[in-house]
Structure 1
Amino acid sequence: MQRRIFIKYLLGSSGLILVNCGSPPKEYQLDQVTDCADLTGLSEEELEKRKSLGYEEETPVSDNRCDNCQLYLPPTEKRKCGGCQLFKGPVKPQAYCTYWAPRVENA
């Protein structure tokens, strides 16, 4: 019992605070997403970033879609959903954001 009191006193007087000794929060990985409409793994910060960039799931400008944007990351064998270089989370091909940039084809 004395040892426990001593340890509490020692930790308390040193200013050392132990907070959540568990594993760190899991980093969001787009290649692990199986439902391209599921945003549950994104932090509030990432959701706000998507919103601040004007991301819309259906483009209001017919010629400006994510799938013809320079920043779009198309699905691959490893990654079921498309993504974007500006924010985390799945991106639909027919979506749009205010940072749309025309895809430049290699000549």
Structure 2
Amino acid sequence: MNRRKSIKNILASTGVVFFLSKCGKPQEEYKLENIDNCSDLTGLSEEDIAKRKSLGYEEKSPLEDDKCDNCQLYLPPTEKRKCGGCQLFKGPVNADAYCTYWAPRVENV
């Protein structure tokens, strides 16, 4: 009986170690600092591009008042970044773009 219990414990701990080793590896970081063209998706994985599409990202908003630059999720350009970004997906974001998860920016009062 002790032998079975020992084997179960060894297998269980091996599985946990394997799982933690896979989870602990950081994904390759995508940086917006090197992007000059805000439509350039070079460096994004197919999965990242598919995520953008699944969120309904469009380079030009079909709605006059709903654009990325007035969305709560938008990360505006900085001194180091020419293009904006989004909290929902990787890659450059045009200020005039839009996605189906657009949320009005809430200003702190």
Task: Provide the TM-score with structure 2 as the length reference.
Answer: 0.72
Paired with 2:79 and 2:39, the residues of 1 have a C-alpha distance of 18
* Residue equivalent to 2:57: 55
- Paired amino acid for 2:51: K
Answer 1 or 2: which has greater helix percent. 2
2:93 to 91, 94, 101: 91
Structure 2: unaligned runs, 5 residues or longer: 1-26
* Residue equivalent to 1:39: 41
* Mapping 1:9-48, distance limit 5 Å: 26-48=28-50
Paired with 1:55 and 1:85, the residues of 2 have a C-alpha distance of 13
Name the SS of the counterpart of 1:32 in structure 2: coil
Which is further off, 26-35 or 71-80?
Answer: 26-35
Task: Provide the TM-score with structure 1 as the length reference.
Answer: 0.73
* Mapping 1:63-74, distance limit 5 Å: 63-74=65-76
Decide which structure has the larger Cα Rg and report it: 1
Aligned residues: 83
Name the SS of the counterpart of 1:59 in structure 2: coil
> Which contiguous aligned blocks of 4+ residues in structure 1 show a shift greater than 4 angstroms?
none
- Paired amino acid for 2:74: Y
Which is further off, 33-42 or 89-98?
Answer: 33-42
- Paired amino acid for 2:48: E
Paired with 1:50 and 1:73, the residues of 2 have a C-alpha distance of 15
